[in-house]
Amino acid sequence: MLLELPKFKDFRMRYASSTHKVDAGKLLETAPSWLVEHLRRKGVLKGEPGEAWLDYYTLEPGQRLEVFRADEPGVIASLWMTINAHDRRFLRNVVIRAYWDGESEPSVESPIGDFFLQGHRAFAPRPSLAASAFSLPLGLSSGGFYCFLPMPFERARIEVENLGAEEVPNLYYIIGYYTGVDVSGMGRFHAVWRREKRVKPGEPYTILRARGRGHYIGVYLYVRGLSLKSPIAGGLGFLEGNTRIEADGEVVYQATGTEDYFLSGWYFAGGPFAAPFHGLLHKSEEGGEIAAYRFHIPDPVPFREWIAVTTPHGEWNDVEADYSSVAYWYQSEPHTSFYRLREDDLY
Q: Taking the model in full, what pTM does it have?
A: 0.91
Q: Which helix (H) or strand (E) holds 191?
A: strand 188-196
What top-level class would CATH report for the domain 11-29+55-186? Answer: mainly beta
65 vs 217: CA distance, rounded Å: 28
pLDDT tens per residue across span 257-293 = 999 999 999 999 999 999 999 999 999 999 999 999 9
pLDDT tens per residue across span 112-171 = 999 999 999 998 888 889 899 999 999 999 999 999 999 999 999 999 999 999 999 999
| Identical fold, 11-29+55-186 and 187-341 | yes
Domain boundaries, the chain: 11-29+55-186, 187-341
What is the dotted CATH code of the domain comprising 187-341? 2.60.120.1390
> Looking at residue 2, what is its pLDDT?
46
pLDDT tens per residue across span 176-226 = 999 999 999 899 999 999 999 999 999 999 999 999 999 999 999 999 999
Instruction: Identify which of 77, 99, 87 has the alpha carbon closest to the alpha carbon of residue 174.
Output: 77
Find all residues with CB under 8 Å of 270, minimum gap 6, and list them.
Answer: 264
158 vs 70: CA distance, rounded Å: 9
252 vs 261: CA distance, rounded Å: 13
Torsion on CA atoms 143, 149, 154, 158, rounded to nearest 10: -20
